[in-house]
Amino acid sequence: MATRLSGGGRTGRRRPARTGVEPDHPRYKWVALSNTTLGTLIATINASIVLISLPAIFNGIGLDPLEPGNVSYPTCCGCW
């Protein structure tokens, strides 16, 4: 856990740094919900961008994904 000097660094006492909302805070559930919602939205937008750009990606690398020998390219990770 990160620590910082209390009192602007003048005293030698250390206390834990606050990194976010504590679980017993009244707004904790709203912070967790908004973070989850924002993460889901970003993941959905990213998936849409990749899906729309797949034809251009395949044209750029000179690959026809519908040929029998190229079926594994769209489904595996790290093939390039």
- Residue keyed to tokens 């834990």: 16
10 vs 22, more confident = 22
CB 71 within 8 A of CB 65: yes
The pLDDT of residue 11 is 60
Evaluate if residue 40 carries a pLDDT over 80: yes
Separation of alpha carbons 35 and 30, rounded Å = 8
Average pLDDT taken over every residue of the chain:
78
Out of 15-19, 50-54, 60-64, 65-69, least confident range? 15-19
53 vs 65, more confident = 53
Q: Is the pTM of this model over 0.85?
A: no
Whole-number Cα distances in Å, 55 to 39, 45, 59, 60, 65: 26, 17, 6, 9, 9
